Structure 1
Amino acid sequence: MISVPGRNSAGGLNSLMSSILLRVAGAVLLSAAAYYVYLPLPSGVSEPWKLMLLDALFRSFMQASDVAHALGVCHRVHLLNRVVSWVEVVEARSSAAVNVTDRSLGGVPTRVFQPNGGSTPKRGVIYFHGGGWALGSGREWMRSYDLLCRKMAEDLDAVIMSVDYRLAPEAVFPDQYHDALAASRSFLSPQVLQRYSIDPDRLCVSGDSAGGNLAAAVAQKFGSDDTLKVKFKAQALIYPVLQALDFHTPSYQQNQAVPILYRPIMARFWLQYLGADSSLEPLLLANNHSSLDQPGISAAARSRLDWTNLLPAERRKHFRPVPGLTDVRAAPLLAEPGVLGRTPKAYVMTCEFDVLRDDGLMYGRRLQDAGVTVTSDHYEDGFHGCMVFAYLPMMSGVGWRSMNNYICWLDQNL
């Protein structure tokens, strides 16, 4: 007898086909996701798959913001900050160990982290967050910096003041610089030091990336100001951005495609900060903005970014200089030796896989040449942003190592 498939048999066949199709679709989607996430990275990067996942997240945010910008929906920075607020923002909440309040320093919003108990007077650190002078809400706060400052306050038994300076595109240079100066001047005032029981002889200015730029600029300005009765004892700069004169230093060439700070993104941040036309980005990347035929750039200014002399041979490697510097007021690397020599002792953290690596290394060398005591803390497996992102679940061990060493230096030098 021949068996004829019935309704149940047909249903089973359809179920089987649906299951196969779902698995195929899942495999295709998984392959597409893996293709999007995967990025060839240098072999020395700490825990590369974690960096790939973080980069995929940021690339998604950046691409979505670029589309919104192109369609005229909103400025790309506004969308990025909105996404940051969804992911990172936390309210000011105190704990048993640290009291957290929102205050104003010189008219600039600031979050104050005060350890409960401990000795008095306490050490004090004013901190400027990174984000290309554009990212991080102007009204709210990022979880990464909140947790960093809490840890600093608790581990150091110090008062930490994290400054919420104005951001691009609404604010452009020198707005952020002026905010940093105003907040720092207030931080050094007798009224603030007394109110928070801070020792005037144990003060530090610090920041990461664009915040490191502001911290270095503040240290230079106040170091040369003889009217100040209280000055900073130390400056701590975390992978700082210090110049827009040469986008072809060895680190810019070596790490131009290494996440999370790609070379074109850094050029875009600079243009936003300076209030310049975004169409100039290709000129910056080609160093045409600072070619040798620019008469406004002196030989002395060029010598302050001569990485063929300022970088050790193992960093120069096989790279060759591309002629080009530009007149950028917001570039602490170009300061006169006399100005550098009056700044406080310095801690400069750099990462091997970071386009800004050579900015920090050259600045450390120039500070030393000017007579400043410098601690250079370089991470051969580090990448831009590693310290601040140490609290994310996907973050690598180099983030924790760099954070602990940074706090350890502060503990020993404040």
Structure 2
Amino acid sequence: MGQLSHTRLRCFCVVSTALVALLAYYVYIPLPANISDPWKLMLLDATFRSAQQLSQLIQYVGLSHHLIALNFIIVSFGKKSAWSSPNVQITDTNFDGVEVRVFEGFPKAKEPLKSGIVYIHGGGWALASARISYYDELCSKMAEELNAVIVSIEYRLVPKVHFPEQLYDLDRATKYFLQPQILEKYSVDPERIAISGDSAGGNLAAALGQQFCKDESFRNKIKLQALIYPVLQALDFNTPSYQQNMNSPILPRHVMIRYWIDYLKGNQDFVPAMVVNNHTSLDVEHAATLRSRLNWLSLLPASITKDYKPVMQTVGNTRIVQELPQLLDVRSAPLIADQEVLQNLPKTYILTCEHDVLRDDGIMYVKRLESAGVDVTHDHFEDAFHGCMIFTSWPTNFSVGIRTRDSYIKWLKQNL
């Protein structure tokens, strides 16, 4: 009997050791030495990868589209926490048929009118919500610290709608908010309004800002734009940051390309070709013209380009751009806008992260805006990763998340 118990104990130890080793192998990914809270980031990334794999399985067995399943998991995980501020009133309503969550900061001092910020959440145009705790806490913090009214827009997501429907939602809701009677209702100063967003939300905020500056009726109604690690182009998936961070946590390169394809309602079979820039090869006429007009090397500092080897294919897959001309649409890729459009944009804040495939999108936009005469503040964080700004509360609290959020709010406070 004792021998049997001893054998079982040995089996248990062997199996437990094997499981721990497998878990460690799954969780561990090599990370740069200077990245913020590396072990916590590995766990967060492993959790997100697990959710992605589970959602793919759900689609495989025919239960739901993988993005709907993944968003259900994210929204469930990110339900509103018990944290709240007594100095902020939160209301769910709709602006011209578009759902919004409004955060109203109670004045700390006598001030007749508040500033207003239209906020657009990230999530690859397919995930997250204005109502989950990450954005709830961010927008509440903004409303309280800035004594502002934050309109967080619950725009429709992929796969229920695709480009440019998300922009139509944002356009309608923002124009509704900008009506004099609505601004008066919320005691918002019409001279102190900003648009802002993170990641795909930064993409949408940049596109919305460009649309407004083309419209004389709205050109001067936005005082500021603030873009947090924005997605700005789909011409080149081999910029230095895409090459250096292709396997970085939260947003590896192949995942970003898949988000683009889903947003534009394309075929996921295009991913391998797009990874090596076959969609913008020299034999793809319009794409080649755009890439020749916008020389990436001239838009990036020498510290980034010194060891950079551009990937420009001579012959590629012309079918991709033929089926997805939206890849070259300025409304989906604000970085490629004409100089005449950029010069009418308001004062701008752009935050970038060193360990992020989208780092160079933001840096190139900073350069293009500066060349167009726009007043730009570029805030770069050497230890930051994509998505960090919303991770400020336990158990996903990162020191760089708090620092990026506080720096962003400080700029808004000083300029809005």
* In 2: Cα distance, 1:260 partner to 1:91 partner: 22
1:228 aligns with 2:218: yes
**Cα offset, 1:94, TM superposition:** 7.0
Q: Residue 123 of structure 1 is aligned with which of 96, 107, 115? A: 115
- Where does 1:72-91 land on structure 2 (aligned, <5 Å)? 72-90=62-80
The answer (yes or no) to whether the contact 2:120–2:202 under 8 Å persists in 1 is yes
Partner residue in 2 for 1:66: 56
Partner residue in 2 for 1:370: 372
The count of aligned residue pairs is 401
1:215 aligns with 2:205: yes
Q: Residue 26 of structure 1 is aligned with which of 5, 9, 16? A: 16
**Cα offset, 1:334, TM superposition:** 0.6
Partner residue in 1 for 2:362: 360
Provide the secondary structure at the position in 2 that maps to 1:166: coil
- Where does 1:33-48 land on structure 2 (aligned, <5 Å)? 33-48=23-38
* Superimposed CA distance per residue, residues 268-304 of structure 1 (whole angstroms, 9 cap, x where no aligned partner): 00011111112111121121111111122363x2245
The answer (yes or no) to whether the contact 2:227–2:350 under 8 Å persists in 1 is yes
**Cα offset, 1:224, TM superposition:** 2.3
Partner residue in 2 for 1:323: 312
The answer (yes or no) to whether the contact 1:386–1:395 under 8 Å persists in 2 is no
Partner residue in 1 for 2:324: none
Provide the secondary structure at the position in 2 that maps to 1:124: strand
- Where does 1:257-336 land on structure 2 (aligned, <5 Å)? 257-297=247-287, 299=289, 301-303=290-292, 305-323=294-312, 327-329=328-330, 330-336=332-338
The answer (yes or no) to whether the contact 1:245–1:328 under 8 Å persists in 2 is no
Q: What TM-score, normalized to structure 2?
A: 0.92
Partner residue in 1 for 2:317: none
* In 2: Cα distance, 1:181 partner to 1:39 partner: 40
* In 1: Cα distance, 2:32 partner to 2:260 partner: 26
1:190 aligns with 2:185: no
The answer (yes or no) to whether the contact 1:256–1:355 under 8 Å persists in 2 is yes
Partner residue in 1 for 2:140: 150
Letter paired with 2:55: S
* Superimposed CA distance per residue, residues 106-165 of structure 1 (whole angstroms, 9 cap, x where no aligned partner): 32100000112433300111100000000025xx72110001001111111111110000
**Cα offset, 1:19, TM superposition:** 3.4
Partner residue in 2 for 1:173: 163
Provide the secondary structure at the position in 2 that maps to 1:265: helix
Letter paired with 1:100: I
1:401 aligns with 2:392: no
- Where does 1:239-250 land on structure 2 (aligned, <5 Å)? 239-250=229-240
* In 1: Cα distance, 2:406 partner to 2:247 partner: 28
Provide the secondary structure at the position in 2 that maps to 1:296: helix
* Superimposed CA distance per residue, residues 68-124 of structure 1 (whole angstroms, 9 cap, x where no aligned partner): 223322111011011012201239997521110011123210000011243330011
The answer (yes or no) to whether the contact 1:51–1:395 under 8 Å persists in 2 is no
User: Which moved further from structure 2: 354-363 or 91-100?
Assistant: 91-100
1:340 aligns with 2:329: no
Provide the secondary structure at the position in 1 that maps to 2:189: strand
The answer (yes or no) to whether the contact 1:133–1:167 under 8 Å persists in 2 is yes
* In 2: Cα distance, 1:318 partner to 1:251 partner: 12
Provide the secondary structure at the position in 1 that maps to 2:287: coil
The answer (yes or no) to whether the contact 2:121–2:200 under 8 Å persists in 1 is yes
Q: What TM-score, normalized to structure 1?
A: 0.92
**Cα offset, 1:24, TM superposition:** 2.8
* In 1: Cα distance, 2:351 partner to 2:157 partner: 24
Provide the secondary structure at the position in 2 that maps to 1:141: coil
Q: Residue 136 of structure 1 is aligned with which of 105, 110, 128? A: 128
* In 2: Cα distance, 1:229 partner to 1:237 partner: 18
The answer (yes or no) to whether the contact 2:349–2:379 under 8 Å persists in 1 is yes
Letter paired with 1:401: R
The answer (yes or no) to whether the contact 1:223–1:231 under 8 Å persists in 2 is no
Partner residue in 2 for 1:4: none
The answer (yes or no) to whether the contact 1:94–1:100 under 8 Å persists in 2 is no
* In 2: Cα distance, 1:190 partner to 1:62 partner: 44
Question: Would the alpha carbon gap of residues 397 and 122 (structure 1) be closer, same or farther in structure 2, given more than 3 Å must change?
Answer: same
* In 2: Cα distance, 1:217 partner to 1:308 partner: 23
The answer (yes or no) to whether the contact 2:280–2:288 under 8 Å persists in 1 is no
Letter paired with 2:298: N
Q: CA RMSD in A?
A: 1.9
Question: Would the alpha carbon gap of residues 229 and 308 (structure 1) be closer, same or farther in structure 2, given more than 3 Å must change?
Answer: closer
